[in-house]
Structure 1
């Protein structure tokens, strides 16, 4: 929290019986092993639960501040080196690897066909993210498997009587977790493309697509305004508010103010005039003006996307609705029943004026057909000589 510490320093390993360790600690205390020049003390230990075969890397840290205080932190990182817990998990993993290889071949072909145009497509970037994270996860998984074998062999050779450093194993496990998390993230976004025939999801995608340029312009403008307020609040209240002690903390405070989840009494207490003035100015420009512009862009794009909705999406929604009604999975409410009755009544009792134009078109088509037939008959008779 207060500094970065390298790998150097003095090391003492706890070994032997409890009485021996207490004696050694007393000797370290007598020799002033921790003195006024000490900046941090790390206590690292590894716990093992044989019933569930779970290892836990524990790190306890005590930082000695220049002001004389001591700040303590702790970190517990459980690690499970189980490779596969069932045959089903192994089979699913193998199928997943084959699917990734298959999609990788498809994307390579598309890359050679489209070249630079390939990277201009949004879904191509998502597909590359899925494939890249998946391949990275496979590589890191084998790395973790190798590290687990090394730790198991070391544990078997020493019977657990020495300290086994799990920092590398924790690091590898964190990388694997991050890659799997991003892979799931890109996969969830991919579902938007797979469900593109759904009316609501297609509206969502079309809305974002139509307002992309406006959102980019708005983001630049909002970033300039937000950075100006960030500088203002940081310079004015850095020595008065703990929430403005750093630029990151100040940005977090401003986002909380944007979401209307901030206690304004802190700013008022920091300065009687500048606090309320800056707070009011931020609320007017950012919350009322900028957010109103943002919502206006989204609403206008949504209206435009709804007007230009594709016909196949409407037909698919209609077919799905009819299928649910036919199977009985969805029951009609009173409004829908009344609407169907009105449609049937309108289809049975049609105003003749409404069909007048269609009748005229049919009459003209019939006259035109008779005229063409007569022309053909006259031309045939002329050829015969009658």
Structure 2
């Protein structure tokens, strides 16, 4: 592969050439003859007088080739084609650089490497050995994730505002809190069928139909009718729908079968009455399924109801609606078989671009009476109307790009770590955030299309009922999904700041006490659910908070937090109520909860103690101080270079003719260690007339520009030094002490790192902070204590080895004496009985002497030596028996 250096050079011999670098050779082009000469790159580079000139080894080899003509290949290479600049790129063999396809392969590798660098993370890179790479990767991940959080927050808070709350409150005051005429009741206090009909004919009708102004004047434009509060348009028409159960849906006790002929059970899907009743001549008296009504099931206070039923659409005209209601009232549309009545309608406010989908549900219980509930959903179904909405749209597009980015990132990590990837909690959290975000994005597209279709159908015929219940419900789920995503996204920040030990206290504490908490949780919930069942069975028929088992569980949790109603328990049962309350508070609140807190407190103390002895993976301030020091070093080098050139200008004019020709300039800068390329480029920049001589005006321009650059660098250096001083410790004495304690070798190494040559002023020494010093002191103390224990154990081992060696020598001497005596008796010709008796006497004497030595050793040196002596005595007795045999 061939690269052009970027500047042309005129040598003293009049050559006009372009530097071209190949892997092994340098090409010399001579346009006059159309020939190419090739200089071979030399392995041995010439010594450099300047530490750093920016020249590569290939550049220096090129200069070596110019100075030594013998290394030039004299064989010309033909040019097979020319580019726009009159040159054709050739490889080392004289072939076209694109001919063999290697250049394309290199480009693909470069593109692949560039793409991989985009998704570089701590999990895809080997950062254990390279600390600087670990820091850079962590900071890069944190910065990208912070941008992701900002975009997500803009999207989330762009979907909601306090206006939604006020919109909901205004409509709830109108339909829920307006008093029924001639009573003090409102919808919240409806208790029977008569109250419900009074609400429908009173507050509901007055709230839905606004036919005149507040002064009873008619609207000048008929299109202004049916604007609730003059601002909220009623979309389509309202709908009434009821669900019924059939007679004989329950069994009557045999004792009352002669007295009671009808029985209506509580609502369930199995006992739903789908037969026509009443007049049977309109949809109000005929059952329609959930598919026919395009409805959806609803979970209320008592039961869950499907989306079908007996439905009637009201009118946009108040008089017509009153006539419909009058007929329903007179024909007993609501009777004993009715179990739930739904009132559905939708409002839209163009001022704030918000929909409010309202559902008023009245459940008629099998016990008699009714229980009203309501659901007001204020949602923003038309997302893109105002300029701010389009900004949110742009943020959503950026958010999707982030999701694609993280999908690729997680895919690369899964490819590398396989199933081990899912063992990390943070990785599972990443997958969860990606899945929720993808589902929300898909619903966002679906919602935009579906709302457009519904509004198009509605505008064609306003007398239809627009069922926005489905869209509003899933819009709420969309909002909930985004809220959960934001929550998990904020929790995920701990993944990127875990390098700081303070930030890991929560996760470390929970991880350390997880097993203890799980064991304790079993014991806690056994007691807790026992009390929950006891409360439900005792007070469930009288106290609202214990009416269901799940309500009993929530009530007991509220008692733990101090929210309880003791009077209701005492009123329900004056004996068992106080006993239940006292026992629960004592065992659960005073005992179990405090045990729970004790486990966490003990673990937290241990974790905090361990973290105090642990050093951070890296200190953020130290990293930025090092970066600032490097920046100062580079700025100082640039400043010194400018000062060096200014001095060269003053001393280069050797003949004092106030004219600075190129040879004088080149000779002066060559002495200062500059390369020909730098000399040529700088001279050509100010040689405006191209005569290879700098006159007074050109020298003045050079001086002014260099002086301006030097002043700018001084300002930058001062600002960097001020910022660096803010990161340093406040205790100057400690800094000086730490600085004096640094060895000279470390100082020299720091100086070399800061830029070389001793000319950089910004490379400061790395000092030890007080916190690090305390940690090191504690570690040294622990090491000293451990060394003391180790020394004692080593002394004990050496003493035992010495005793074993002594015992071995004594055993050897005793055995030698016994064997010598036995050999002497055999030589004297003694009989067998005499030799046996003599051997036993020798053994007995040795044993007595050994026992005396054992007692003396035990008294003087302890049990260890006595044990060794006893061991030797046993071996001697064994030898005696062997000798006897």
TM-score normalized with structure 1 length: 0.78
Q: Which residue of the partner structure matches residue 101 of structure 1?
A: 404
Contact 1:210/1:301 (<8 A) preserved: yes
Structure 2, unaligned runs of 5 or more: 1-300, 629-721, 742-885
Deviation at 1:251, TM superposition (A): 0.9
Indicate if the aligned counterparts of 1:229 and 1:282 stay in contact, CA closer than 8 A.
Answer: yes
2:376 to 67, 72, 76: 76
2:533 to 211, 214, 231: 231
- Identify the residue that residue 256 of structure 1 maps to in structure 2: 558
Give, in whole Å, the separation in 2 of the partners of 1:188 and 1:124: 15
- Residue 23 of structure 1 corresponds to which residue in structure 2? 323
Q: 1:145 aligns with which of 430, 445, 448?
A: 448
1:291 equivalent to 2:571? Answer no
* Equivalent residues of 1:42, 1:59 under 8 A apart: yes
- Give the match for residue 135 of structure 1: 438
1:320 Cα shift?
Answer: 9.0
Distance 1:318 1:240, change over 3 A: farther
> 2:616 aligned with 1:312, yes or no?
yes
Preserved contact between residue 199 and residue 314 of structure 1 (Cα < 8 Å):
no
Residue equivalent to 1:53: 353
Q: Distance in 1 between matches of 2:566 and 2:503?
A: 39
What SS is found at the alignment partner of 2:519? helix
Aligned partners of 2:383 and 2:389 also within 8 Å: no
Please list the CA deviations of residues 196-221 of structure 1 after superposition, one character each: whole Å capped at 9, or x if unmatched. Answer: 23443222222122222222222222
1:114-163 deviations in whole A, cap 9, x for unaligned?
333222211111111111111111111111112111122113322x3322
Q: Does 1:157 align with 2:460?
A: yes
The CA distance in 2 between the partners of 1:314 and 1:283, in whole Å, is: 47
Question: What is the distance in 2 between the residues matched to 1:95 and 1:16?
Answer: 44
2:578 counterpart residue number: 276
Partner residue in 2 for 1:91: 394
In the alignment, structure 1 residue 119 sits paired with structure 2 residue 414: no
The yes-or-no answer on 1:44 pairing with 2:344 is yes
3-state SS of 1:57 partner: strand
2:737 and 2:406 map into 1 onto residues whose CA distance is: 52
Q: Any stretches of 5+ residues in structure 1 without a counterpart?
A: 331-335, 351-386
Shift of residue 300 of structure 1?
A: 1.9
Is 1:65 matched up with 2:365?
yes
Question: CA–CA distance in 1 between the matches of 2:526 and 2:472?
Answer: 40
Distance across 1 between alignment mates of 2:321 and 2:396 = 47
Structure 1 position 210 matched with structure 2 position 486: no
The verdict on how the C-alpha distance between 1:95 and 1:266 changes in structure 2, with shifts beyond 3 A counting, is same
How many matched pairs? 342
Q: Is the 8 A contact 1:237 1:244 kept in 2?
A: yes
Distance 1:16 1:224, change over 3 A: closer
Tell me how far 1:164 sits from its aligned partner: 0.7
For the structure 1 residues 106 and 241, does the alpha-carbon distance in structure 2 shift closer, same or farther, using more than 3 Å as the test?
same
Distance 1:50 1:95, change over 3 A: closer
Pairwise CA distance, 1:246: 0.9
CA contact (8 A) 1:198 1:317 kept: no
SS at match of 1:39: strand
Structure number with the bigger relative contact order (C-alpha 8 A, sep ≥ 6) is 1
Distance 1:17-1:296 versus aligned 2 partners, 3 A rule: closer
Change (3 A) 1:268 1:343: farther
Partners of 1:203 and 1:320 in 2: how far apart? 24
Kindly provide the CA deviation profile for residues 320-377 of structure 1, in whole angstroms up to 9, marking residues without a partner as x. Answer: 99x9xx769x9xxxxx98xx488589989x9xxxxxxxxxxxxxxxxxxxxxxxxxxx
Change over 3 Å in CA distance of 1:70–1:263 after alignment to 2: closer
1:28-50 deviation per Cα after TM superposition (whole angstroms, max 9, x unaligned): 22222222222222111121223
For 1:240 and 1:25, how far apart are their aligned partners in 2? 38
Comparing both structures, which one devotes a greater share of its residues to helix? 1
Question: Aligned partners of 2:333, 2:568: CA distance in 1, in Å?
Answer: 44
**Larger Rg belongs to:** 2
Post-superposition Cα deviations, 1:12-66, rounded to whole Å, max 9, x if no partner, equal 1112532222222222222222222222221111212233333221112222222
Deviation at 1:184, TM superposition (A): 0.9
* Alpha-carbon shift at residue 187 of structure 1 (Å): 0.4
Instruction: Give the distance between the partners of 1:202 and 1:317, measured in 2 at CA.
Output: 18
Q: CA deviation at 1:169?
A: 0.9
Q: Check the 8 A contact 2:355/2:380 in 1, yes or no.
A: yes
Q: Which stretch shows the higher mean deviation, 94-103 or 111-120?
A: 111-120
State how far apart, in whole Å, the 2-side matches of 1:81 and 1:236 are. 48
CA distance in 1, matches of 2:389, 2:545: 49
Instruction: Please name the residue that 2:481 is paired with.
Output: 179
